Homo-oligomer: A and B are copies of this chain.
Amino acid sequence: MTNSSSLDASAFHIYDTTLRDGAQQEGLNLSVQDKLNIAKHLDSLGVGYIEGGWPGANPKDTEFFAKAHSDLKLKYATLAAFGSTRRPNVKAQDDPQVRALLDSKAQVITLVAKSFDRHVELALKTTLEENIAMIKDTVAFLTAEGRRVFLDAEHFFDGYRSNKNFALEVVNAATQSGAEIVALCDTNGGMLPNELGEVVHEVLSATKARIGIHCHDDTNCAVANTLSAVDAGATHVQGTANGYGERSGNANLFSVVANLQFKKGKIVVPSDAIKEMTRIAHAVSEITNINPNQHQPYVGFSAFAHKAGLHASAVKIDPMLYQHIDPVLVGNDMRTLVSDMAGRASIELKGKEMGYNLEGNKEVLTSVVEKVKEMESRGYTFEAADASFELLLRNELGEKDPKYFTVESWKATVEQSENGEVTTEAVVKVNAGGKVLEQTSRGNGPVNALDKALRAALEKIYPELAKLELIDYKVRILEGVKGTGAVTRVLIETTDGNSQWDTVGVHENVIAASWNAISDAVTYGLLKANVK
Protein backbone atom coordinates (compact mmCIF):
# COMPACT_ATOMS: atom_id res chain seq x y z
CA MET A 1 0.00 0.00 0.00
CA THR A 2 1.44 3.32 -1.11
CA ASN A 3 1.01 6.39 1.00
CA SER A 4 1.30 9.85 -0.42
CA SER A 5 -0.46 12.70 1.19
CA SER A 6 -0.58 15.35 -1.50
CA LEU A 7 -1.57 15.51 -5.12
CA ASP A 8 1.13 15.48 -7.78
CA ALA A 9 -0.65 15.23 -11.10
CA SER A 10 2.55 14.74 -13.09
CA ALA A 11 3.73 11.84 -10.93
CA PHE A 12 0.52 9.91 -11.48
CA HIS A 13 -1.83 10.35 -14.45
CA ILE A 14 -5.59 9.89 -14.34
CA TYR A 15 -6.36 9.68 -18.05
CA ASP A 16 -9.99 9.69 -19.14
CA THR A 17 -11.01 8.22 -22.50
CA THR A 18 -14.81 8.49 -22.21
CA LEU A 19 -15.04 10.76 -25.25
CA ARG A 20 -13.07 8.38 -27.47
CA ASP A 21 -13.05 4.78 -26.26
CA GLY A 22 -16.14 5.17 -24.05
CA ALA A 23 -18.09 6.44 -27.06
CA GLN A 24 -17.54 3.02 -28.70
CA GLN A 25 -20.29 1.69 -26.43
CA GLU A 26 -23.24 0.23 -28.26
CA GLY A 27 -26.07 2.76 -28.27
CA LEU A 28 -23.92 5.70 -27.15
CA ASN A 29 -23.86 8.65 -29.53
CA LEU A 30 -22.41 11.98 -28.47
CA SER A 31 -22.80 15.33 -30.19
CA VAL A 32 -19.95 17.85 -30.08
CA GLN A 33 -21.84 19.79 -27.41
CA ASP A 34 -22.35 16.58 -25.38
CA LYS A 35 -18.61 16.01 -25.50
CA LEU A 36 -17.85 19.54 -24.35
CA ASN A 37 -20.30 19.15 -21.46
CA ILE A 38 -18.86 15.82 -20.39
CA ALA A 39 -15.33 17.25 -20.54
CA LYS A 40 -16.37 20.02 -18.13
CA HIS A 41 -17.73 17.46 -15.66
CA LEU A 42 -14.60 15.30 -15.89
CA ASP A 43 -12.45 18.37 -15.30
CA SER A 44 -14.45 19.20 -12.19
CA LEU A 45 -13.56 15.73 -10.86
CA GLY A 46 -9.89 16.70 -11.22
CA VAL A 47 -8.72 14.17 -13.82
CA GLY A 48 -5.34 15.03 -15.34
CA TYR A 49 -6.04 14.17 -19.00
CA ILE A 50 -9.14 14.06 -21.16
CA GLU A 51 -8.86 12.28 -24.49
CA GLY A 52 -11.22 14.21 -26.76
CA GLY A 53 -11.38 11.98 -29.82
CA TRP A 54 -9.67 11.17 -33.09
CA PRO A 55 -9.35 14.36 -35.13
CA GLY A 56 -8.96 13.66 -38.84
CA ALA A 57 -10.69 10.29 -38.62
CA ASN A 58 -13.95 11.76 -37.40
CA PRO A 59 -15.20 15.25 -38.42
CA LYS A 60 -17.12 15.60 -35.12
CA ASP A 61 -13.86 15.11 -33.25
CA THR A 62 -12.05 17.69 -35.39
CA GLU A 63 -14.83 20.13 -34.50
CA PHE A 64 -14.61 19.15 -30.83
CA PHE A 65 -10.95 20.21 -30.63
CA ALA A 66 -11.64 23.48 -32.43
CA LYS A 67 -14.47 24.34 -30.04
CA ALA A 68 -12.63 23.04 -26.99
CA HIS A 69 -9.75 25.44 -27.54
CA SER A 70 -12.10 28.42 -27.71
CA ASP A 71 -14.87 27.39 -25.29
CA LEU A 72 -13.51 25.04 -22.62
CA LYS A 73 -11.86 26.57 -19.58
CA LEU A 74 -10.31 23.53 -17.92
CA LYS A 75 -9.11 23.82 -14.34
CA TYR A 76 -7.24 20.55 -13.93
CA ALA A 77 -7.24 18.59 -17.16
CA THR A 78 -5.08 18.69 -20.29
CA LEU A 79 -6.75 17.67 -23.56
CA ALA A 80 -5.28 14.77 -25.53
CA ALA A 81 -5.92 13.94 -29.19
CA PHE A 82 -5.94 10.27 -30.18
CA GLY A 83 -4.65 8.98 -33.50
CA SER A 84 -2.66 6.31 -35.23
CA THR A 85 1.03 6.10 -36.07
CA ARG A 86 1.75 6.91 -39.74
CA ARG A 87 0.55 4.48 -42.39
CA PRO A 88 3.09 1.94 -43.74
CA ASN A 89 5.57 3.31 -46.29
CA VAL A 90 4.64 6.99 -45.95
CA LYS A 91 6.59 9.76 -44.22
CA ALA A 92 4.99 10.88 -40.95
CA GLN A 93 4.84 14.51 -42.09
CA ASP A 94 3.06 13.42 -45.30
CA ASP A 95 0.37 11.39 -43.56
CA PRO A 96 -2.81 13.54 -43.46
CA GLN A 97 -4.02 11.69 -40.36
CA VAL A 98 -0.81 12.67 -38.50
CA ARG A 99 -1.17 16.27 -39.71
CA ALA A 100 -4.74 16.34 -38.37
CA LEU A 101 -3.33 15.51 -34.94
CA LEU A 102 -1.05 18.53 -35.13
CA ASP A 103 -3.92 20.67 -36.41
CA SER A 104 -6.03 19.73 -33.39
CA LYS A 105 -3.62 21.86 -31.36
CA ALA A 106 -3.83 19.31 -28.54
CA GLN A 107 -0.79 19.54 -26.32
CA VAL A 108 -0.80 15.79 -25.73
CA ILE A 109 -1.07 13.31 -28.57
CA THR A 110 -1.82 9.68 -27.83
CA LEU A 111 -0.75 7.43 -30.64
CA VAL A 112 -2.11 3.94 -31.00
CA ALA A 113 0.36 1.35 -32.30
CA LYS A 114 0.19 -2.37 -32.82
CA SER A 115 2.24 -4.53 -30.46
CA PHE A 116 0.82 -7.96 -31.33
CA ASP A 117 2.77 -9.55 -34.20
CA ARG A 118 -0.25 -11.34 -35.67
CA HIS A 119 -2.18 -8.06 -35.86
CA VAL A 120 0.70 -6.40 -37.72
CA GLU A 121 0.75 -9.19 -40.24
CA LEU A 122 -2.96 -9.98 -40.61
CA ALA A 123 -4.73 -6.67 -39.99
CA LEU A 124 -2.10 -4.05 -40.83
CA LYS A 125 -0.55 -6.25 -43.54
CA THR A 126 3.00 -5.00 -43.12
CA THR A 127 6.26 -6.25 -41.60
CA LEU A 128 7.25 -6.10 -37.95
CA GLU A 129 10.22 -3.90 -38.94
CA GLU A 130 8.02 -1.39 -40.72
CA ASN A 131 5.68 -1.29 -37.71
CA ILE A 132 8.62 -0.33 -35.47
CA ALA A 133 9.69 2.33 -37.99
CA MET A 134 6.16 3.74 -38.04
CA ILE A 135 6.27 4.17 -34.27
CA LYS A 136 9.73 5.74 -34.22
CA ASP A 137 9.02 8.15 -37.08
CA THR A 138 5.66 9.35 -35.81
CA VAL A 139 6.74 9.81 -32.19
CA ALA A 140 9.91 11.64 -33.28
CA PHE A 141 8.03 13.88 -35.71
CA LEU A 142 5.38 14.92 -33.16
CA THR A 143 7.82 15.51 -30.31
CA ALA A 144 9.99 17.58 -32.67
CA GLU A 145 6.85 19.65 -33.31
CA GLY A 146 6.71 20.34 -29.57
CA ARG A 147 3.95 17.93 -28.56
CA ARG A 148 3.97 15.54 -25.63
CA VAL A 149 3.39 12.01 -26.95
CA PHE A 150 1.83 9.05 -25.16
CA LEU A 151 1.69 5.66 -26.88
CA ASP A 152 -1.17 3.16 -26.58
CA ALA A 153 0.32 -0.29 -27.25
CA GLU A 154 -2.75 -2.07 -28.64
CA HIS A 155 -3.32 -5.76 -27.84
CA PHE A 156 -0.16 -5.60 -25.76
CA PHE A 157 -0.86 -8.57 -23.47
CA ASP A 158 -1.87 -10.92 -26.28
CA GLY A 159 1.18 -9.67 -28.17
CA TYR A 160 3.48 -10.27 -25.22
CA ARG A 161 2.24 -13.85 -25.00
CA SER A 162 2.71 -14.35 -28.74
CA ASN A 163 6.07 -12.61 -29.29
CA LYS A 164 7.65 -11.10 -26.19
CA ASN A 165 10.66 -9.61 -27.98
CA PHE A 166 8.56 -7.78 -30.53
CA ALA A 167 6.20 -6.42 -27.86
CA LEU A 168 9.17 -5.12 -25.86
CA GLU A 169 10.70 -3.64 -29.01
CA VAL A 170 7.52 -1.59 -29.47
CA VAL A 171 7.86 -0.23 -25.92
CA ASN A 172 11.54 0.60 -26.43
CA ALA A 173 11.03 2.17 -29.86
CA ALA A 174 8.39 4.53 -28.47
CA THR A 175 10.36 5.45 -25.36
CA GLN A 176 13.63 6.01 -27.22
CA SER A 177 11.88 8.23 -29.75
CA GLY A 178 10.47 10.43 -26.99
CA ALA A 179 7.11 9.00 -25.89
CA GLU A 180 6.46 9.97 -22.27
CA ILE A 181 4.14 7.09 -21.50
CA VAL A 182 3.62 3.66 -23.01
CA ALA A 183 0.15 2.51 -22.03
CA LEU A 184 -0.21 -1.27 -22.22
CA CYS A 185 -3.67 -2.07 -23.57
CA ASP A 186 -5.65 -5.19 -22.77
CA THR A 187 -7.67 -4.47 -25.90
CA ASN A 188 -9.69 -7.70 -25.92
CA GLY A 189 -10.15 -7.51 -22.15
CA GLY A 190 -9.29 -11.12 -21.43
CA MET A 191 -6.69 -10.65 -18.69
CA LEU A 192 -6.87 -11.42 -14.97
CA PRO A 193 -5.05 -9.34 -12.34
CA ASN A 194 -2.18 -11.65 -11.37
CA GLU A 195 -0.90 -12.38 -14.84
CA LEU A 196 -1.39 -8.79 -15.94
CA GLY A 197 0.59 -7.49 -12.96
CA GLU A 198 3.41 -9.90 -13.72
CA VAL A 199 3.66 -8.67 -17.32
CA VAL A 200 3.69 -5.02 -16.20
CA HIS A 201 6.46 -5.86 -13.75
CA GLU A 202 8.48 -7.63 -16.45
CA VAL A 203 8.09 -4.74 -18.90
CA LEU A 204 9.21 -2.23 -16.27
CA SER A 205 12.26 -4.40 -15.53
CA ALA A 206 13.15 -4.92 -19.20
CA THR A 207 12.72 -1.33 -20.47
CA LYS A 208 13.20 2.28 -19.37
CA ALA A 209 9.59 3.17 -20.20
CA ARG A 210 7.10 4.91 -17.96
CA ILE A 211 4.16 2.51 -18.07
CA GLY A 212 0.44 3.19 -18.27
CA ILE A 213 -2.49 0.76 -18.28
CA HIS A 214 -5.69 0.55 -20.35
CA CYS A 215 -8.18 -2.22 -19.47
CA HIS A 216 -11.51 -3.56 -20.71
CA ASP A 217 -14.02 -5.38 -18.55
CA ASP A 218 -14.57 -8.64 -20.46
CA THR A 219 -13.57 -10.76 -17.46
CA ASN A 220 -15.33 -8.42 -15.00
CA CYS A 221 -11.86 -7.52 -13.69
CA ALA A 222 -11.02 -4.20 -15.43
CA VAL A 223 -10.81 -2.22 -12.19
CA ALA A 224 -8.78 -4.90 -10.41
CA ASN A 225 -6.52 -5.29 -13.46
CA THR A 226 -5.85 -1.55 -13.41
CA LEU A 227 -4.99 -1.66 -9.70
CA SER A 228 -2.77 -4.68 -10.26
CA ALA A 229 -0.81 -2.71 -12.88
CA VAL A 230 -0.45 0.19 -10.41
CA ASP A 231 0.79 -2.21 -7.73
CA ALA A 232 3.37 -3.43 -10.28
CA GLY A 233 4.54 0.13 -10.96
CA ALA A 234 2.27 1.68 -13.62
CA THR A 235 1.86 5.43 -13.03
CA HIS A 236 -0.77 6.28 -15.65
CA VAL A 237 -4.26 4.77 -15.63
CA GLN A 238 -6.87 5.01 -18.36
CA GLY A 239 -10.59 4.52 -17.91
CA THR A 240 -14.02 5.92 -18.70
CA ALA A 241 -16.87 7.57 -16.81
CA ASN A 242 -19.33 4.93 -15.55
CA GLY A 243 -17.21 2.29 -17.31
CA TYR A 244 -18.65 3.09 -20.74
CA GLY A 245 -17.04 1.29 -23.64
CA GLU A 246 -17.29 -1.34 -26.31
CA ARG A 247 -18.56 -4.84 -25.38
CA SER A 248 -18.51 -5.01 -21.57
CA GLY A 249 -16.99 -1.56 -21.25
CA ASN A 250 -13.69 -0.03 -20.13
CA ALA A 251 -12.25 0.20 -16.63
CA ASN A 252 -14.64 2.38 -14.64
CA LEU A 253 -12.55 5.46 -13.88
CA PHE A 254 -14.75 6.43 -10.92
CA SER A 255 -14.12 3.08 -9.21
CA VAL A 256 -10.41 3.24 -10.07
CA VAL A 257 -10.01 6.76 -8.65
CA ALA A 258 -12.02 6.01 -5.48
CA ASN A 259 -10.07 2.79 -4.85
CA LEU A 260 -6.71 4.52 -5.35
CA GLN A 261 -7.70 7.44 -3.15
CA PHE A 262 -9.52 5.66 -0.31
CA LYS A 263 -8.08 2.15 -0.34
CA LYS A 264 -4.51 2.69 -1.52
CA GLY A 265 -4.02 6.09 0.13
CA LYS A 266 -2.86 7.57 -3.19
CA ILE A 267 -4.16 11.10 -3.67
CA VAL A 268 -4.86 11.17 -7.41
CA VAL A 269 -7.56 13.88 -7.58
CA PRO A 270 -8.26 16.77 -5.19
CA SER A 271 -10.20 15.69 -2.07
CA ASP A 272 -12.91 18.29 -2.53
CA ALA A 273 -13.31 17.34 -6.19
CA ILE A 274 -13.85 13.64 -5.43
CA LYS A 275 -16.82 14.64 -3.24
CA GLU A 276 -18.52 15.61 -6.50
CA MET A 277 -18.14 12.11 -7.95
CA THR A 278 -21.73 10.93 -7.41
CA ARG A 279 -23.16 14.10 -8.90
CA ILE A 280 -20.75 13.92 -11.84
CA ALA A 281 -21.53 10.25 -12.53
CA HIS A 282 -25.23 11.08 -12.72
CA ALA A 283 -24.71 14.26 -14.75
CA VAL A 284 -22.70 12.28 -17.31
CA SER A 285 -25.45 9.68 -17.61
CA GLU A 286 -27.97 12.46 -18.19
CA ILE A 287 -25.84 13.64 -21.12
CA THR A 288 -25.29 10.17 -22.57
CA ASN A 289 -28.97 9.39 -21.97
CA ILE A 290 -28.05 6.00 -20.56
CA ASN A 291 -29.88 5.01 -17.40
CA PRO A 292 -27.45 5.18 -14.49
CA ASN A 293 -26.56 1.80 -13.02
CA GLN A 294 -28.14 2.09 -9.61
CA HIS A 295 -25.81 -0.55 -8.24
CA GLN A 296 -22.62 1.11 -9.50
CA PRO A 297 -19.92 0.97 -6.81
CA TYR A 298 -19.38 4.20 -4.87
CA VAL A 299 -21.77 6.39 -6.91
CA GLY A 300 -24.89 4.27 -7.51
CA PHE A 301 -28.22 5.12 -5.91
CA SER A 302 -28.10 1.74 -4.12
CA ALA A 303 -24.37 1.70 -3.35
CA PHE A 304 -24.96 2.52 0.29
CA ALA A 305 -28.53 1.25 0.70
CA HIS A 306 -29.37 -1.23 3.44
CA LYS A 307 -32.29 -3.61 3.21
CA ALA A 308 -31.88 -6.34 5.80
CA GLY A 309 -33.78 -5.48 9.01
CA LEU A 310 -31.05 -7.39 10.84
CA HIS A 311 -28.64 -4.63 9.90
CA ALA A 312 -30.76 -1.59 10.53
CA SER A 313 -30.51 -1.56 14.32
CA ALA A 314 -26.74 -1.95 14.19
CA VAL A 315 -26.49 0.71 11.48
CA LYS A 316 -28.11 3.07 13.96
CA ILE A 317 -25.41 2.35 16.54
CA ASP A 318 -22.56 2.89 14.11
CA PRO A 319 -23.08 3.19 10.34
CA MET A 320 -19.43 2.33 9.71
CA LEU A 321 -20.15 -1.21 10.94
CA TYR A 322 -22.05 -1.72 7.69
CA GLN A 323 -20.31 0.41 5.09
CA HIS A 324 -16.81 0.24 3.68
CA ILE A 325 -16.31 4.01 3.46
CA ASP A 326 -18.28 7.04 4.52
CA PRO A 327 -20.51 7.73 1.46
CA VAL A 328 -20.09 11.49 2.01
CA LEU A 329 -16.51 11.14 0.73
CA VAL A 330 -17.86 10.52 -2.78
CA GLY A 331 -20.96 12.69 -2.39
CA ASN A 332 -23.28 9.73 -1.93
CA ASP A 333 -25.71 8.98 0.90
CA MET A 334 -26.62 6.08 3.11
CA ARG A 335 -30.20 4.97 2.58
CA THR A 336 -32.36 2.53 4.43
CA LEU A 337 -34.89 0.54 2.50
CA VAL A 338 -38.30 -0.02 3.95
CA SER A 339 -38.93 -3.70 3.38
CA ASP A 340 -40.79 -6.60 4.92
CA MET A 341 -37.88 -7.04 7.30
CA ALA A 342 -38.39 -3.46 8.51
CA GLY A 343 -38.32 -2.64 12.18
CA ARG A 344 -38.54 0.63 14.07
CA ALA A 345 -34.85 1.36 13.61
CA SER A 346 -35.06 1.35 9.82
CA ILE A 347 -38.29 3.38 9.82
CA GLU A 348 -36.60 5.96 12.06
CA LEU A 349 -33.60 6.15 9.71
CA LYS A 350 -35.82 6.38 6.64
CA GLY A 351 -37.85 9.16 8.26
CA LYS A 352 -34.66 11.04 9.06
CA GLU A 353 -33.57 10.89 5.42
CA MET A 354 -36.91 12.46 4.47
CA GLY A 355 -36.56 15.18 7.06
CA TYR A 356 -38.83 13.78 9.79
CA ASN A 357 -37.34 13.41 13.27
CA LEU A 358 -38.89 10.29 14.75
CA GLU A 359 -36.27 9.69 17.40
CA GLY A 360 -37.90 8.56 20.63
CA ASN A 361 -41.37 8.92 19.08
CA LYS A 362 -42.17 5.32 19.95
CA GLU A 363 -45.89 5.61 19.40
CA VAL A 364 -45.65 6.84 15.80
CA LEU A 365 -42.78 4.46 15.04
CA THR A 366 -44.83 1.53 16.26
CA SER A 367 -47.92 2.58 14.31
CA VAL A 368 -45.87 3.09 11.11
CA VAL A 369 -44.22 -0.34 11.50
CA GLU A 370 -47.65 -1.93 12.05
CA LYS A 371 -49.12 -0.15 9.06
CA VAL A 372 -46.17 -1.04 6.79
CA LYS A 373 -46.30 -4.69 7.87
CA GLU A 374 -50.03 -4.87 7.34
CA MET A 375 -49.80 -3.28 3.90
CA GLU A 376 -46.81 -5.41 2.89
CA SER A 377 -48.78 -8.51 3.81
CA ARG A 378 -51.38 -7.33 1.28
CA GLY A 379 -48.73 -6.98 -1.41
CA TYR A 380 -47.46 -3.44 -1.01
CA THR A 381 -43.76 -2.69 -1.10
CA PHE A 382 -42.22 0.59 -0.06
CA GLU A 383 -38.67 -0.16 -0.92
CA ALA A 384 -39.08 1.36 -4.38
CA ALA A 385 -41.95 3.71 -3.52
CA ASP A 386 -40.57 6.45 -1.30
CA ALA A 387 -43.37 8.86 -2.14
CA SER A 388 -46.12 6.43 -1.10
CA PHE A 389 -44.18 5.76 2.09
CA GLU A 390 -43.87 9.47 2.83
CA LEU A 391 -47.63 9.93 2.37
CA LEU A 392 -48.23 7.06 4.78
CA LEU A 393 -45.77 8.51 7.27
CA ARG A 394 -47.34 11.98 7.11
CA ASN A 395 -50.72 10.41 7.70
CA GLU A 396 -49.50 8.52 10.78
CA LEU A 397 -47.81 11.69 12.04
CA GLY A 398 -51.19 13.43 11.79
CA GLU A 399 -49.91 16.09 9.36
CA LYS A 400 -52.79 18.28 8.29
CA ASP A 401 -52.26 17.83 4.56
CA PRO A 402 -54.98 19.21 2.28
CA LYS A 403 -57.36 16.68 0.70
CA TYR A 404 -56.72 17.76 -2.86
CA PHE A 405 -59.41 15.69 -4.50
CA THR A 406 -61.83 12.82 -4.03
CA VAL A 407 -62.73 10.29 -6.69
CA GLU A 408 -66.31 9.81 -7.88
CA SER A 409 -65.70 7.18 -10.55
CA TRP A 410 -63.47 6.24 -13.46
CA LYS A 411 -63.66 3.94 -16.46
CA ALA A 412 -61.12 2.72 -18.98
CA THR A 413 -61.98 0.98 -22.25
CA VAL A 414 -59.58 -0.68 -24.67
CA GLU A 415 -60.95 -1.98 -27.91
CA GLN A 416 -59.70 -3.67 -31.05
CA SER A 417 -62.15 -3.06 -33.84
CA GLU A 418 -62.77 -5.28 -36.84
CA ASN A 419 -60.22 -3.34 -38.92
CA GLY A 420 -57.56 -4.27 -36.33
CA GLU A 421 -57.18 -0.78 -34.88
CA VAL A 422 -56.67 -0.54 -31.12
CA THR A 423 -58.13 2.47 -29.29
CA THR A 424 -58.19 3.45 -25.62
CA GLU A 425 -60.43 5.87 -23.80
CA ALA A 426 -60.70 6.81 -20.13
CA VAL A 427 -63.37 8.80 -18.31
CA VAL A 428 -62.61 10.24 -14.88
CA LYS A 429 -64.99 12.02 -12.48
CA VAL A 430 -63.47 13.73 -9.43
CA ASN A 431 -64.41 16.39 -6.84
CA ALA A 432 -61.95 19.21 -6.29
CA GLY A 433 -62.22 22.82 -5.18
CA GLY A 434 -65.94 22.27 -4.54
CA LYS A 435 -66.64 21.22 -8.12
CA VAL A 436 -67.37 17.95 -9.87
CA LEU A 437 -64.88 17.62 -12.71
CA GLU A 438 -65.36 15.14 -15.53
CA GLN A 439 -62.81 14.44 -18.24
CA THR A 440 -62.46 12.00 -21.13
CA SER A 441 -58.99 11.29 -22.57
CA ARG A 442 -57.51 8.96 -25.12
CA GLY A 443 -54.13 7.32 -24.63
CA ASN A 444 -51.84 4.64 -25.95
CA GLY A 445 -52.98 2.37 -23.13
CA PRO A 446 -55.43 2.38 -20.22
CA VAL A 447 -52.95 3.67 -17.63
CA ASN A 448 -51.78 6.46 -19.90
CA ALA A 449 -55.39 7.43 -20.66
CA LEU A 450 -56.41 7.40 -16.97
CA ASP A 451 -53.33 9.42 -15.99
CA LYS A 452 -54.07 11.98 -18.70
CA ALA A 453 -57.76 12.20 -17.80
CA LEU A 454 -57.10 12.62 -14.07
CA ARG A 455 -54.52 15.34 -14.57
CA ALA A 456 -56.55 17.11 -17.25
CA ALA A 457 -59.55 17.17 -14.89
CA LEU A 458 -57.53 18.49 -11.96
CA GLU A 459 -55.44 20.99 -13.93
CA LYS A 460 -58.48 23.28 -14.02
CA ILE A 461 -57.96 23.69 -10.25
CA TYR A 462 -54.24 22.85 -9.97
CA PRO A 463 -52.30 24.16 -12.98
CA GLU A 464 -49.09 22.82 -11.33
CA LEU A 465 -50.04 19.37 -12.60
CA ALA A 466 -49.31 20.32 -16.22
CA LYS A 467 -45.59 19.67 -15.61
CA LEU A 468 -46.10 16.13 -14.33
CA GLU A 469 -45.19 13.18 -16.51
CA LEU A 470 -45.42 9.45 -15.91
CA ILE A 471 -41.98 8.13 -16.86
CA ASP A 472 -41.90 4.51 -15.75
CA TYR A 473 -44.45 1.82 -15.05
CA LYS A 474 -43.87 -1.64 -13.63
CA VAL A 475 -46.32 -4.42 -13.00
CA ARG A 476 -45.95 -7.53 -10.94
CA ILE A 477 -48.41 -10.28 -10.13
CA LEU A 478 -48.09 -11.50 -6.55
CA GLU A 479 -49.35 -14.98 -5.99
CA GLY A 480 -51.65 -15.90 -3.17
CA VAL A 481 -50.94 -12.97 -0.89
CA LYS A 482 -52.36 -13.76 2.57
CA GLY A 483 -54.44 -16.66 1.41
CA THR A 484 -56.39 -14.71 -1.18
CA GLY A 485 -55.99 -14.99 -4.91
CA ALA A 486 -53.29 -13.20 -6.87
CA VAL A 487 -53.01 -9.45 -6.54
CA THR A 488 -51.29 -7.01 -8.86
CA ARG A 489 -48.70 -4.52 -7.74
CA VAL A 490 -47.96 -1.47 -9.85
CA LEU A 491 -45.00 0.85 -9.35
CA ILE A 492 -44.94 4.14 -11.21
CA GLU A 493 -42.35 6.84 -11.48
CA THR A 494 -43.40 10.42 -12.05
CA THR A 495 -41.37 13.54 -12.77
CA ASP A 496 -42.06 17.27 -12.59
CA GLY A 497 -39.01 17.98 -14.73
CA ASN A 498 -36.74 18.60 -11.75
CA SER A 499 -37.07 15.53 -9.58
CA GLN A 500 -38.87 12.24 -9.65
CA TRP A 501 -40.83 10.12 -7.22
CA ASP A 502 -42.14 6.58 -6.98
CA THR A 503 -45.53 5.39 -5.85
CA VAL A 504 -47.15 2.03 -5.45
CA GLY A 505 -50.66 0.68 -5.93
CA VAL A 506 -52.02 -2.80 -5.14
CA HIS A 507 -55.30 -4.36 -6.22
CA GLU A 508 -56.47 -7.63 -7.71
CA ASN A 509 -57.27 -5.59 -10.83
CA VAL A 510 -54.22 -4.18 -12.65
CA ILE A 511 -56.10 -1.05 -13.73
CA ALA A 512 -57.32 -0.30 -10.21
CA ALA A 513 -53.80 -0.87 -8.86
CA SER A 514 -52.49 1.55 -11.48
CA TRP A 515 -55.15 4.07 -10.56
CA ASN A 516 -54.08 3.94 -6.90
CA ALA A 517 -50.44 4.53 -7.82
CA ILE A 518 -51.38 7.41 -10.14
CA SER A 519 -53.58 8.94 -7.47
CA ASP A 520 -50.68 8.83 -4.93
CA ALA A 521 -48.32 10.29 -7.52
CA VAL A 522 -50.60 13.26 -8.19
CA THR A 523 -51.17 13.89 -4.46
CA TYR A 524 -47.44 13.77 -3.80
CA GLY A 525 -46.79 16.11 -6.74
CA LEU A 526 -49.24 18.68 -5.32
CA LEU A 527 -47.71 18.37 -1.85
CA LYS A 528 -44.22 18.82 -3.29
CA ALA A 529 -45.35 21.91 -5.19
CA ASN A 530 -46.56 23.29 -1.85
CA VAL A 531 -50.14 23.65 -3.06
CA LYS A 532 -52.40 24.56 -0.11
Q: Within 8 Å of chain B (Cβ to Cβ): is A509?
A: yes
Partner of A446, one of B27, B507, B510: B510
Report A14 CB to chain B, min CB distance, Å: 16
A432 / chain B contacts, CB cutoff of 8 Å:
none
Q: Which residue of chain B is the closest to A84 with respect to CB atoms?
A: B310
* CB neighbours of A418 from chain B (8 A): 408-409
Which residues of A, 277-334, contact B by the 8 Å Cβ criterion? 289, 293-298, 300, 302-308, 313-314, 317-318, 321-325
A404-447 CB contact bits vs B (8 Å, 1 = yes)? 00011111111111100010100000000000000000001111
Contact of A122 among B317, B338, B477 (CB under 8 A): B317
Contact A414-B227, Cβ < 8 Å, known A26-B384, A247-B295, A259-B219? no
Q: Which of A190, A323, A478, A511 has the most B CB atoms < 10 Å from its CB?
A: A511
* Residue numbers in B under 8 Å from A477 (CB-CB): 472-474
Report the nearest B residue to A187, measured CB to CB.
B322
CB-defined contacts of A219 to chain B, threshold 8 Å:
223, 255, 258-259, 263, 297, 324
Number of copies: 2
Which residues of chain B have C-beta atoms less than 8 A from A220's C-beta? 223-224, 252, 255, 259, 297-298
Known: A192-B263, A305-B247. A221 touches B218 (CB 8 A): no
Q: Do residues B422 and A507 form an inter-chain contact, with CB atoms below 8 A?
A: yes
A162 to chain B, nearest CB (A): 11
A411 to B248, CA, bound (A): 42
Question: Contact check: which of B27, B248, B381, B475 meets A296 at CB < 8 Å?
Answer: B248
Check if A26 sits within 8 Å of B263, measured CB to CB: no
Q: Kindly list chain B residues whose C-beta atoms are within 8 Å of the C-beta of A367.
A: none
Please name all residues of chain B whose beta carbon is closer than 8 Å to the beta carbon of A228 when the two chains form the complex.
193-194
Please name all residues of chain B whose beta carbon is closer than 8 Å to the beta carbon of A138 when the two chains form the complex.
none
- Interface flag for A15 (CB, 8 Å): no
Query: In the complex, what residue of chain B is closest to A381 when comparing beta carbons?
Result: B29
Q: Which residue of the partner chain, among B248, B289, B297, B512, contacts A416 with CB atoms under 8 Å?
A: B512
CB of A11 closer than 8 Å to a CB of B: no
Asked whether A494 is an interface residue with its Cβ less than 8 Å from the other chain, the reply is: no
B123–A321 touching, CB < 8 Å = yes
Say whether A4 faces chain B, with CB atoms less than 8 Å apart: no
Asked if A515 is at the interface of the complex by the 8 Å CB criterion, the answer is yes
- Contacts A220-B252, A247-B303, A297-B220; is A422 near B512 (CB within 8 Å)? yes
Measured between alpha carbons, how far is A32 from B481 in the docked complex, in Å? 11
Contact of A297 among B217, B324, B509 (CB under 8 A): B217
A1 contacts which chain B residues (CB < 8 A)? 195
**A337 to chain B: which residues have CB within 8 Å?**
26
**Cβ contact within 8 Å between A446 and B414:** yes
Chain B, residue nearest A513 (CB): B445
A contact residues, range: 35 or more
Tell me whether A510 and B305 are in contact (CB under 8 A).
Answer: no
Name A1-44 residues within 8 Å CB distance of B.
1, 24-27, 29, 31-33
Contact A248 B302 (CB under 8 A): yes
Known: A193-B224, A259-B192. Contact between A246 and B307, CB under 8 A?
yes
In whole Å, how far is A405's beta carbon from the nearest beta carbon of chain B? 14
CA distance A478 to B246 in the complex (A): 22
**Interchain CB contact under 8 A, B323 and A122:** no
In this assembly, does A479 line the interface, its C-beta being within 8 Å of a C-beta of chain B? Answer: yes
Bound Cα distance from A443 to B384, whole angstroms? 29
**Quick one: given A217-B297, A473-B477, A475-B475, are A324 and B255 in contact (CB under 8 Å)?**
no
Question: What chain B residues lie within 8 Å of A99 (beta carbons)?
Answer: none
Q: Are B446 and A446 in contact (CB under 8 A)?
A: yes
Compute how far the CA of A512 lies from the CA of B413 in the bound complex, rounded to whole angstroms.
Answer: 12
Residue contact A508 to B444, C-beta cutoff 8 Å? yes
Closest 10 A-B residue pairs measured CB to CB? A190-B324, A224-B224, A123-B314, A220-B255, A475-B475, A414-B511, A220-B223, A411-B415, A220-B297, A188-B324
Interchain Cβ contacts under 8 Å between A and B, 27 examples = A26-B307, A31-B479, A32-B479, A122-B317, A192-B224, A193-B193, A194-B228, A218-B297, A219-B324, A220-B223, A220-B252, A221-B221, A224-B225, A247-B303, A409-B415, A409-B418, A411-B416, A412-B413, A413-B414, A414-B446, A414-B512, A416-B512, A444-B509, A445-B488, A445-B509, A446-B510, A474-B477
Q: A189-B324, A219-B263, A247-B306 are in contact. List 12 more A-B contacts (CB 8 A).
A: A1-B195, A24-B308, A26-B307, A188-B322, A220-B252, A221-B223, A247-B303, A247-B305, A414-B511, A444-B485, A445-B488, A474-B477
